[in-house]
């Protein structure tokens, strides 16, 4: 039932509005559009729909460019890259929309509406009171030509509305959902051009999709109810409509449309948290499409190669952050060591950038343990900032007592002083022997050392950490732990 990839090149687009941070839904829709372009040797276009100036946010557009590039969802045409259908920013195409509206007025497919905002507000209030569906009552549709002339001459403000047929149905074939139809009697005579001469979303969207020769409109399911209006517009203009495909919305855990109250939605947030583009794209692809072998981890290239409209999902996937974190950890582990270092440095900068060779030595200890790049400092900082500010009580894990902790630390000092070479395997073997001789369990014994060496109960592997720190620093940390223990005992703050 799903649409087929066309034999020739498809032209597809993503058309976000610059109203805030770049949205994860934009990346999701962009990904599937781009897949269609890649698979058909077509073009993927970015269009900025900035006609609603009241919601315009300065800088939002640039963040959309950046976020799409960060993800590797580069576009073939767009405001900042140009292209044969430029400009790609709706605010620069106003003349086109006015001409289009004029055409519809001339052919009687649209009409001027002179109703005041006050009258429209009263109409809405009355409809609400009588529990009737909202919508324009068509008063200006029947105005005589002479009356229109008189109002125009008097300088009365006007909008342009589409003259939606009063009877019949409007149908379209959704590329995923099959035939969808709406009763024309339920479709409002929507405003196409506002009184300030700016177009509404519907007019600008259709005029641009036509002018930009878009073959497939692939967008979120929330636009289904707008589609009959668009189909009517295509008919009114006498243009062939594109294929419409409505992707299922990303959802919160309670299945409501994804929203920032319940889920992070800003792509900037995902970048700041150290999600890898590879993981986020993999995750978004999984949300909307299944791979033939149900594979869960795959690259963008693999996704493009396997993309099949027949495998698009039709029910709204729940955006499961925990799953994304897991997937991100998997992707972090897949990075070649040098690449992992590069990403850490790019993400965190200072103080790490000053010591790249230490980053390279610490990286193998941390790479297997983190789920996001943001977690890097919690494991790595012990190597960069020292670890003196932990609680003395951590040095005495149950069931040990302070005397045993002290003995363990002293033994460790002796081992660290003599081990040759000063290497993880040597240190570990000798430490195990010493612990056994003391008649202590390995778990709590190593915990004492772990806290002394790293300052935390959760850390990179103990003996590898010692090796990276080196003999001198290891001895210094063991000494500091003993001192801390002694102070705590003297002041009664140890356990």
Q: Which is nearer to ligand GLU, 33 or 411 (CB)?
A: 33
The active-site residue out of 260, 262, 313, 323 is 260
Residues 161 and 27: their CA atoms lie apart, in Å, by 33
Stretch that binds ligand GLU, among 10-18, 71-79, 99-107, 282-290 (CB under 6 A): 10-18
**Structural tokens at position 367:** 């790479």
> Does residue 223 interact with ligand GLU by CB under 6 A?
yes
Long-range contacts of 62-69 (CB under 8 A, 24+ apart): 63/21, 63/22, 63/267, 63/268, 64/16, 64/18, 64/22, 64/26, 66/22, 67/22, 67/26, 67/27, 67/267, 67/268, 67/271, 68/22, 68/26, 68/27, 68/30
Q: Which is nearer to ligand GLU, 43 or 205 (CB)?
A: 205
Number of Cβ within a 10 Å radius of residue 464: 18
What mask, x for binding ligand GLU by CB under 6 A, covers residues 159 to 198? ----------------------------------------
Q: Which is nearer to ligand GLU, 112 or 216 (CB)?
A: 216
Residues 394 and 400: their CA atoms lie apart, in Å, by 11
Contacts (CB under 6 A) with ligand GLU, residues 22-81: 49
Of the residues 3, 10, 11, 16, which one makes contact with ligand GLU according to CB under 6 A: 16
Minimum distance from CB of 239 to ligand GLU (Å)? 16
Of the residues 159, 205, 367, 459, which one makes contact with ligand GLU according to CB under 6 A: 205
> Does residue 397 interact with ligand GLU by CB under 6 A?
no
Q: Which is nearer to ligand GLU, 18 or 274 (CB)?
A: 18
Minimum distance from CB of 217 to ligand GLU (Å)? 6
What DSSP string runs through 353-381?
GG-HHHHHHHHHHHTTT-SSGGGHHHHHH
Minimum distance from CB of 16 to ligand GLU (Å)? 5
Stretch that binds ligand GLU, among 11-19, 110-118, 120-128, 244-252 (CB under 6 A): 11-19
Residues 126 and 120: their CA atoms lie apart, in Å, by 10
> Does residue 15 interact with ligand GLU by CB under 6 A?
yes
Minimum distance from CB of 276 to ligand GLU (Å)? 26
**Any residues with CB less than 8 A from the CB of 488 and at least 6 apart, and which?**
392, 393, 402, 494
Half-sphere exposure for 28 (CA within 13 Å, toward CB): 26
Q: How many residues bind ligand GLU (CB under 6 A)?
A: 7
Catalytic status, residue 260: yes
Q: What is the phi-psi region of residue 360: left when phi exceeds 0, alpha when psi lies from -120 to 50, beta otherwise?
A: alpha
Report the interface residues with ligand GLU, using CB under 6 A.
Answer: 15-17, 49, 205, 219, 223
Kindly list the catalytic residues.
Answer: 260
């Amino acid at each position: 039932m799903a649409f087929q990839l066309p034999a020739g090149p498809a032209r597809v687009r993503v058309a976000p509005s610059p109203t805030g941070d770049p949205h994860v839904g934009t990346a999701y829709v962009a990904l599937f559009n781009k897949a269609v372009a890649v698979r058909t040797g077509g073009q993927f276009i970015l269009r900025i729909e900035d006609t609603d100036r009241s919601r315009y946010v300065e800088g939002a557009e640039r963040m959309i460019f950046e976020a799409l590039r960060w993800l590797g969802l580069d576009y073939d045409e767009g405001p900042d890259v140009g292209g044969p259908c430029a400009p790609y920013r709706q605010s620069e195409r106003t003349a086109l929309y006015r001409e289009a509206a004029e055409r519809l007025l001339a052919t009687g497919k649209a009409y001027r509406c002179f109703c005041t905002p006050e009258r429209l507000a009263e109409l809405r209030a009355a409809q609400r009171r009588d529990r009737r569906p909202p919508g324009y009552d068509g008063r200006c549709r029947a105005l005589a030509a002479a009356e229109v002339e008189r109002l125009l001459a008097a300088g009365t403000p006007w909008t342009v509305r589409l003259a939606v047929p009063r009877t019949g149905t409007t149908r379209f074939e959704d590329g995923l959902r099959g035939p969808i139809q709406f009763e024309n009697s339920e479709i409002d005579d929507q405003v196409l051009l506002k009184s300030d001469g700016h177009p509404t979303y519907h007019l600008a969207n259709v005029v641009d999709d036509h002018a930009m020769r878009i073959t497939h409109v692939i967008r979120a399911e929330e636009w289904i109810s707008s589609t009959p209006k668009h189909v009517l517009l295509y008919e009114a203009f006498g243009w062939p409509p594109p294929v419409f495909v409505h992707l299922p919305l990303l959802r919160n855990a309670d299945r409501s449309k994804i929203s920032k109250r319940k889920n992070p939605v800003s792509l900037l947030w995902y970048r700041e948290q150290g999600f890898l583009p590879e993981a986020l794209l993999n995750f978004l692809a999984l949300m909307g499409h299944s791979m033939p072998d149900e594979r869960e981890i795959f690259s963008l290239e693999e996704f493009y190669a396997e993309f099949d409209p027949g495998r698009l999902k039709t029910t709204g996937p729940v955006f499961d952050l925990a799953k994304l974190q897991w997937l991100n950890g998997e992707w972090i582990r897949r990075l070649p060591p040098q690449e992992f270092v590069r990403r850490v440095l790019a993400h965190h900068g200072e103080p790490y950038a000053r010591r790249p060779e230490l980053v390279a030595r610490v990286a193998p200890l941390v790479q297997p343990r983190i789920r996001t790049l943001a977690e890097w400092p919690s494991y790595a900082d012990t190597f960069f900032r020292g670890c003196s500010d932990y609680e003395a009580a951590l040095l005495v894990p149950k069931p040990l007592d302070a005397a045993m902790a002290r003995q363990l630390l002293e033994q460790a000092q002796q081992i660290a002083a003599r081990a040759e070479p000063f290497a993880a395997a040597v240190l570990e073997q000798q430490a195990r022997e010493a612990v056994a001789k003391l008649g202590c369990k390995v778990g709590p014994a190593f915990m004492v050392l772990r806290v002394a060496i790293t300052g935390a109960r959760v850390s990179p592997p103990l003996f590898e950490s010692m090796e990276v720190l080196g003999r001198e620093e290891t001895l210094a940390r063991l000494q500091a732990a003993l001192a801390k223990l002694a102070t705590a005992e003297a002041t009664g703050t140890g356990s």
